[in-house]
């Protein structure tokens, strides 16, 4: 089908928002509504589907967390909210005028006068921004009912919708590999984006070692994109690329002593003070990283869900497919003995436990393969074999990054946003706490330090698992650390483990949703 126009995206999103906003309060929907929505997304490409979904979620966010319903209140074809906004701005402007022209300011201190002007000008700026956001909001754009015969102001809205649409920038990952696949990352300018454009990530091993935050891709800053465009236009980009590493090293050497001093003296004191009253807030601020949203990851998730939707022909089958937690992928991709060994880490344990198990196992496998790929030379053999190996390695690396991103995201939800998955979260935070305690004891015995994540993963994989973890830790501890080591060893025996693991993570995410 043809790509959706920007105006069509907003209208479809508003339509489905009005239909499915009852999901927030667990309302049931008719089969007709479900089929209509499914048929619509079946014929869309992933990018169009993303455009509709992000606008639909923006409508939902506005209804739940802003005054959008009040501002768009309509009485006898008059938008009351618009009038109130302009009245508020007029009142502040009148106040500024009275203060400037009528008030005798000789009795006041200069500082007080400056503060008053600052507050009034700040209030005017906020009101102007609020009016601008109100006029160009998605809800206002839905007032264009007939795209074939639009009102005179429609071209202005259409131009603004082009700016608000997804902007993509091609980037490679931060780690240096022989064959580094390129991914398109969301880089919509901050002032017009509808959401953060990033995926929050939390990592258990990094948290236990107190390591620095890391992301697979560097966030494509809008200023960076503009700066690169200017350099390319001036034909200075190649020269700057050669000089940038040297400049970066000089700056790093200058700032390194200051950063080390802060990290060793000031930051631990600050962390201890706040850990008593706001530990979760501090942990989220220090250890949660933001991963740029990848178009390739979205395409992968969307195609997986679309494939599964084709098998839903009855209500019972739909319930069964939506309740799978990875077993669908494993039974389809693995042989019977392998499948049985892996399934017990999914369907024979509670959901929150399976998240922790697969998160740690994914991290162990990720660091093991990551280290191998950075050391290995793929230039051996003839040209044709080199090309085949390059394609295979790029595909494997892409699936590995998908698995890592989804794994860290699900742990973030389990630990910091349990209310988003309250129906299935179980005792996830207790398991996480016990697993962290066991991991910290193990890392202390192994003399492991900050930022030694790879070394920690290797030591965990070297642990003998012939004795069941339950016999060692007892029944009271909810730790799953060494169970995850056993799972990682089983996964490492598989040839196409990353493709399977990424699909398992899609099912685990879908189950929580």
DSSP 3-state assignment of 297?
Answer: helix
Q: What is the structure's pLDDT at 181?
A: 74
By CB neighbour count within 10 A (0-12 exposed, 13-18 middle, 19+ buried), where does 155 fall?
exposed
Q: pLDDT at position 423, please?
A: 62
293 class by beta-carbon count within 10 Å (0-12 exposed, 13-18 middle, 19+ buried):
buried
As a whole number of angstroms, the distance between CA 134 and CA 73 comes to 12
| Residue whose C-alpha is closest to residue 38's, from 431, 232, 312 | 312
The pLDDT score that the predictor gives to residue 172 is 76
Please tell me the distance from the alpha carbon of residue 50 to that of residue 293, in angstroms, as a whole number: 12
CA distance 220 to 227: 12
* d(C-alpha 129, C-alpha 133), whole Å: 6
Write out the two tokens for 266. 């000031």
CA distance 207 to 435: 11
- pLDDT for the residue numbered 224: 67
Separation between Cα atoms, residue 432 and residue 480, nearest integer Å: 9
Specify the pLDDT at position 256.
67
CB-based contact 187:219 (threshold 8 Å): no
Structure confidence at residue 57 (pLDDT): 92
Which residues contact residue 125 at a Cβ distance below 8 angstroms, ignoring those fewer than 6 apart?
none
Are the C-beta atoms of 207 and 283 separated by less than 8 Å?
Answer: yes
Helical axes 351-375 vs 497-512, angle rounded to 10°: 150
pLDDT score at 229: 72
Domain segments of the chain: what residues?
291-512
- Give the three-state DSSP class for 182: strand
Give the pLDDT confidence score for residue 240 in this predicted structure.
67
The helix, strand and coil proportions of the chain, stated in percent and rounded to the nearest 5, come to: 70, 5, 25
Distances (CA, A) of 380 to 177, 321, 396, 405: 16, 44, 19, 31
Residue 373: its pLDDT value, please?
A: 72
- What pLDDT sits at residue 266? 63
pLDDT at 327: 82
Identify the pLDDT of residue 391: 65
Distance CA 216, CA 206 (A): 14
Look at phi and psi of residue 28 and say left if phi exceeds 0, alpha if psi is from -120 to 50, else beta.
beta
Distance, CA of 174 to CA of 9 (rounded, Å): 34
Amino acid 156: pLDDT: 85
Provide the pLDDT for residue 50. 93
By three-state DSSP, how is residue 502 classified? helix
- This prediction's pTM: 0.84
CA 23, 28, 33 angle in degrees (round to 5)? 90
Q: Which of 415, 371, 422, 402 is nearest to 504 (CA)?
A: 402
> Distance (Å, rounded) from C-alpha 370 to C-alpha 503?
20
pLDDT tens, residue order, the chain (513 aa): 678 888 889 999 999 999 888 887 777 777 788 888 888 998 999 999 999 999 999 999 988 888 888 888 777 667 788 888 899 999 999 999 999 888 888 888 889 999 999 999 999 999 999 898 888 888 888 888 766 667 777 788 888 888 888 888 888 777 666 667 788 888 887 778 888 888 999 999 999 998 888 888 876 666 666 777 777 777 766 776 667 667 766 776 776 676 666 666 666 666 666 666 677 778 888 889 888 899 999 999 999 988 888 877 777 777 777 778 888 888 877 776 667 788 888 888 888 899 999 999 999 999 888 877 766 654 555 555 555 566 677 888 889 999 999 999 999 999 998 887 766 666 788 888 999 999 999 998 888 888 888 899 999 988 876 666 555 555 556 788 888 999 999 888 888 889 999 999 999 998 887
DSSP of 57-108, one letter per residue?
Answer: HHHHHHHHHSSHHHHT-EETTEEHHHHHHHHHHHHHHHHHHHHHHTS-GGGS
């Amino acid at each position: 089908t043809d790509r959706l126009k920007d105006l069509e995206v907003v209208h479809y999103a508003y339509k489905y928002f009005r239909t499915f906003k009852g999901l927030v309060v667990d309302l049931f929907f008719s089969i007709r509504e479900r089929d209509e929505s499914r048929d619509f997304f079946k014929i869309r490409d992933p990018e169009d589907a993303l455009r509709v979904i992000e606008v639909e979620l923006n409508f939902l966010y506005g209804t739940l967390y802003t005054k959008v319903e009040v501002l768009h209140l309509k009485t006898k074809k008059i938008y009351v909210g618009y009038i109130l906004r302009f009245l508020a701005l007029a009142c502040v402007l009148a106040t500024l005028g009275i203060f400037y022209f009528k008030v005798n300011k000789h009795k006041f201190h200069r500082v007080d006068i400056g503060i008053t002007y600052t507050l009034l000008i700040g209030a005017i700026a906020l009101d102007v921004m609020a009016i601008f956001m109100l006029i160009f909001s998605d809800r206002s754009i839905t007032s264009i009912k007939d795209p074939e015969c639009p009102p005179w102001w429609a071209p202005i809205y259409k131009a603004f919708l082009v700016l608000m649409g997804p902007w993509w920038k091609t980037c490679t990952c931060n780690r240096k590999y022989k064959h580094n696949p390129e991914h398109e990352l969301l880089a919509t300018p901050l002032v017009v984006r509808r959401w953060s454009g990033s995926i929050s990530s939390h990592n258990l091993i990094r948290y236990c070692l107190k390591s620095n935050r890391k992301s697979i891709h560097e966030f494509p800053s809008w200023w960076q994109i503009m700066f690169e465009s200017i350099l390319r236009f001036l034909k200075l980009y190649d020269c700057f690329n050669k000089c940038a590493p040297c400049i970066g090293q000089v700056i790093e050497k200058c700032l390194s002593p200051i950063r080390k001093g802060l990290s060793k003296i000031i930051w631990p004191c600050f962390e201890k003070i706040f850990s008593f009253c706001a530990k979760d807030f501090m942990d989220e601020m220090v250890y949660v990283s933001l991963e740029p949203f990848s178009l390739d990851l979205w395409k992968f998730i969307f195609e997986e869900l679309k494939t599964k939707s084709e098998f839903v022909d009855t209500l019972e089958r739909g319930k069964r497919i939506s309740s799978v937690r990875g077993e669908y992928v494993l039974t389809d991709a693995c042989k019977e003995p392998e499948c049985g060994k892996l399934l017990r880490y999914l369907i024979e344990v509670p959901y929150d436990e399976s998240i922790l198990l697969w998160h740690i196992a994914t991290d162990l496998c990720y660091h093991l393969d990551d280290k191998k790929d950075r050391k290995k030379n793929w230039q051996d053999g003839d040209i044709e074999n080199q090309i085949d190996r390059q394609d295979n390695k790029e595909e494997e690396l892409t699936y590995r990054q998908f698995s890592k991103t989804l794994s860290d995201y699900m742990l973030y939800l389990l630990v910091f946003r349990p209310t988003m998955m309250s129906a299935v979260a179980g005792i996830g935070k207790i398991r996480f706490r016990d697993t962290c305690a066991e991991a910290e004891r193990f890392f202390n015995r192994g003399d492991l330090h900050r930022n030694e994540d790879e070394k920690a993963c290797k030591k965990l994989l070297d642990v003998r698992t012939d004795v069941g973890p339950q016999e060692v830790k007892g029944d009271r501890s909810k730790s799953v650390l060494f169970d995850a080591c056993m799972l990682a060893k089983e996964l490492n025996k598989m040839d196409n483990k990353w493709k399977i693991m990424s699909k398992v993570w899609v099912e685990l995410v879908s189950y929580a949703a």
